[in-house]
């Protein structure tokens, strides 16, 4: 299934849930005024989206979010005073309903991973075209995770190379032990679904890969989240990376398929 087409379909359904009487409330956070202005222009012409605030650093973002109660926060990573990681963590306290969408570049993968651990709903590359940016806001607003396949692939490569483990993120022995315990709690089909979700696939794409219905794929994902006591599929991806389940992880794929 084409990823752009899939995101477009999610966006279409999200757009139906919002209109100009109840728009998606967006907070734009970036230390570059030109970037904020560009995002505001792109999003401001959409009938179902309203930019309710801007911030040039993480401290401002938390203050503005407290007052404006946004549905979605477009969050840059590198900013003065308080970076995107710190702001994402604080937003969980002051505005827990806000969904944080991280904007990143290839050379900031480790920051993306940490942002996901802190509760970000997804991430996009900063050079994403305007149409995909709008679609991403709509997708995140309807509580779907948005995992750019390009950045997901880079994260997988870095885990495979051990770069994040060398940075102190993961202990191999602990990862493998916890990974096997998590796998043992799942059915064989749920293991397959978790592997695909860890690659950033949507329910529609998982259904296509496994020749099952979208409803069945969604049910499997929900059951996995319930078993792991997590609340969104981003957390499933993080768990997979941390425990060697993601493609290229330390646990052999035969263990996943058994």
DSSP string over 121-190: -EEEETT--HHHHHHHHHHHHTT--EE-HHHHHHHHHHHHHTHHHHTTS--HHHHHHHHHHHHHTS-HHH
Non-local (6+) Cβ contacts of 109 within 8 A are 151, 154, 155, 158
Four-CA torsion 26, 31, 37, 39, nearest 10 degrees: -40
Give Cα separations from 35 to 29, 30, 76, 257 (angstroms): 9, 7, 10, 45
Beta bridge partners of 147: 123
User: Of 62, 96, 67, whose CA–CA distance to 79 is shortest?
Assistant: 62
Residue-range domain boundaries for the chain:
3-147, 171-257
DSSP conformational letter for 57: S
pLDDT in tens, 1-43: 434 334 445 445 444 555 567 899 999 999 999 999 999 999 9
Q: Which residue has the higher pLDDT, 54 or 143?
A: 54
Q: Is the pLDDT of residue 256 over 70?
A: no
Residue 171, pLDDT score? 47
Report the chain's mean pLDDT, rounded to a whole number.
77
Question: What is the rounded distance in angstroms from the CA atom of residue 112 to the CA atom of residue 106?
Answer: 10
Q: Is the pLDDT of residue 107 over 60?
A: no
| Residue range 171-257, CATH number | 3.40.50.2300
Four-CA torsion 215, 217, 219, 222, nearest 10 degrees: -130
pLDDT (mean) for 186-195:
92
Q: Is the pLDDT of residue 241 over 90?
A: no
Cα angle vertex 119, ends 113, 123, to 5°? 55
Residue 151, pLDDT score? 56
pLDDT in tens, 110-164: 677 777 778 788 888 788 889 989 988 998 887 766 665 555 555 555 554 554 4
pLDDT above 70 as % of the chain: 71
CATH second-level architecture of 3-147? 3-Layer(aba) Sandwich (3.40)
């Amino acid at each position: 299934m084409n990823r752009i087409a899939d995101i477009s379909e999610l966006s279409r359904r999200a757009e139906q849930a919002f209109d100009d009487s109840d728009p998606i409330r967006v907070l734009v956070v970036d230390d570059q005024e030109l970037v904020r202005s560009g995002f505001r222009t792109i999003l401001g012409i959409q009938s179902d989206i309203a930019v309710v605030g801007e911030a040039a650093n993480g401290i401002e973002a938390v203050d503005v979010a407290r007052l404006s109660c946004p549905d979605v926060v477009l969050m840059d990573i590198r900013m003065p005073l308080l970076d995107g990681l710190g702001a994402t963590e604080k937003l969980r306290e002051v505005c827990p309903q806000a969904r944080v969408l991280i904007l990143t570049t290839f050379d900031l993968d480790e920051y993306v991973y940490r942002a996901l651990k802190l509760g970000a709903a997804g991430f996009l590359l900063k050079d994403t075209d305007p149409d995909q940016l709008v679609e991403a806001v709509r997708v995140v607003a309807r509580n779907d995770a948005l995992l750019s396949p390009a950045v997901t692939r880079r994260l997988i490569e870095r885990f495979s190379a051990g770069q994040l483990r060398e940075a102190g993120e993961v202990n191999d022995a602990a990862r493998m032990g916890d990974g096997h315990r998590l796998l043992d709690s799942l059915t064989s089909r749920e293991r397959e679904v978790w592997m695909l979700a860890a690659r950033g696939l949507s329910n529609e794409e998982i259904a296509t890969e496994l020749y099952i219905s979208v409803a069945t794929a969604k049910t499997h994902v929900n059951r996995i989240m319930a078993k792991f006591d997590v609340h969104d599929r981003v957390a499933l991806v993080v768990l997979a990376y941390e425990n060697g389940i993601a493609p290229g992880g330390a646990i052999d794929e035969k263990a996943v398929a058994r």
